[in-house]
Amino acid sequence: METVKLNNAEEYDDFVRNHPKGHMMQTSAWGKIKREWDWTGFICRDDNGQIKGVCGVLIRKIPYTSFKMLYAPRGPVCDLSDKQTVTELIKAVSEYGKNNKAYTFKIDTDTLATDKEYIDLLKSLGFVFKEHGSGFDTVQARYIFRLNIDGKTEEEVMAGFHSKTRYNTRLAERKGIRIEIKGKESCEDFHSLMLLTGDRDNFAVRSTEYFERIMDAFGEDARLYFAYYEDELLAGALDVHVGDKVWYVYGASSNEHRNLMPTYLVQWSCIKWAIEKGCKWYDFRGGYPDENNPLHGIYKFKKGFCNDYMEFMGEADLIMDEFGYKTVEKAQKLVKSARTFKRKLMGNR
């Protein structure tokens, strides 16, 4: 087993990009974005020196505690039915965690909840799966929309949309909505849109600098799509391309001219980019099916483009320090309760 750092991860990233289980959060670029974490990549090879699997790992000290958390977002990247490779990667990462005094190794692999063979393997290696509620009490969403565009034309992909989604997309075109592709220089404009959206839908917003880090880290594989009516910016999306997928990472819109449906044309433009790149999947990420959730509208919006609402395996923890694990879990519940109370309070202003 060998490890790589951010400055020598080229071979590692090539494997992630070319593997069907490759994920943007398993690239070294994701480590450059998460500056409050330290990133290490693990590489497992066969007897001929060929890479069999990799796992990108983030580690950080939990604020106001002495405990460290080890996290492999959507990892590992390998043939998950290859028990030997999975086991070797897990053991190498867990040893690294113990040496760095981590209290847990958290994992939320990009695989469906029906992958019983892989889930049973993780359990046999000591992982404990949480009992989840709605599926949105995890670091990454457990339920996601992922649109299959493999080998399809634009016409074939659009034909799969809900009729209302097709209508709204074409309406935006007819009404003169103009789409422009932007880069890092427009992150401040995107942040301003995000602030409007966050205030309207009651969620916290990342900083301009965070969006700039995404654009820097992924380079030409990151794009900002903006929708304009005349010269007024109405909507935008930040998308990332890695391997056979494009991810819809963030979306935002203003409160003006919403009847012109600019968000639909933005999303369709992003999907067309994925088709152009020859991708197999367009990943919308998560959505909230609960009608009482303030973000339920995002769920309905995504569902209009994609009917495939997938349940992933969720989070599992390899606990290395029982006391540390219980302490941090308790603290996180208290913080979450405080945030929920604050959202309700702000919503009742």
Q: Which two tokens stand for residue 221?
A: 């594989």
pLDDT of residue 16 exceeding 80 = yes
pTM: 0.91
Give me the pLDDT at residue 191, please.
98
Q: Which amino acid is at 142?
A: R
pLDDT of residue 42 exceeding 70 = yes
Give me the pLDDT at residue 309, please.
92
**Mean pLDDT confidence for 175-183:** 97
Q: Whose structure tokens read 């943007």? A: 24
- Asked if 315 and 107 count as a contact pair (C-beta separation under 8 A), the reply is yes
- Strand partners for 68: 61, 102
Mean of the per-residue pLDDT values of the chain: 92
| Least confident residue range of 149-153, 169-173, 339-343 | 339-343
Gap between the Cα atoms of 253 and 233, Å rounded: 8
pLDDT of residue 340 exceeding 80 = no
Same-fold call for 2-140+312-347 versus 144-311 = yes
Instruction: Write down the CATH superfamily of domain 2-140+312-347.
Output: Gcn5-related N-acetyltransferase (GNAT) (3.40.630.30)
How is the chain split into domains, by residue range?
Answer: 2-140+312-347, 144-311
Gap between the Cα atoms of 272 and 278, Å rounded: 10
Give me the pLDDT at residue 85, please.
98
**Mean pLDDT confidence for 14-43:** 97
Q: Considering only CA atoms, give the Rg of the chain.
A: 21
CATH tag for 144-311 (out of 3.40.50.720, 3.40.630.30, 1.10.10.10, 1.20.1560.10): 3.40.630.30
Dihedral sign for Cα 271, 136, 54, 12, please.
positive
Give me the pLDDT at residue 113, please.
96
- Asked if 56 and 37 count as a contact pair (C-beta separation under 8 A), the reply is no
> Read out DSSP for 266-291?
HHHHHHHHHHHTT-SEEEEEE----T
Q: pLDDT tens, 91-114?
A: 999 999 999 999 999 999 999 999
Q: pLDDT tens, 184-222?
A: 999 999 999 999 999 998 888 999 999 999 999 999 999
Give me the pLDDT at residue 132, please.
60
Where is 69: in which H helix or E strand?
A: strand 68-72
Q: pLDDT tens, 109-146?
A: 999 999 999 999 999 999 999 876 555 567 899 999 99
pLDDT category at 78 given cuts 50, 70, 90 is very high
Q: pLDDT tens, 249-306?
A: 999 999 999 999 999 999 999 999 999 999 999 999 987 787 777 678 889 999 999 9
Give me the pLDDT at residue 338, please.
52
Give me the pLDDT at residue 336, please.
63
Burial label for 293, CB within 10 Å (0-12, 13-18, 19+), is middle
Burial label for 137, CB within 10 Å (0-12, 13-18, 19+), is middle
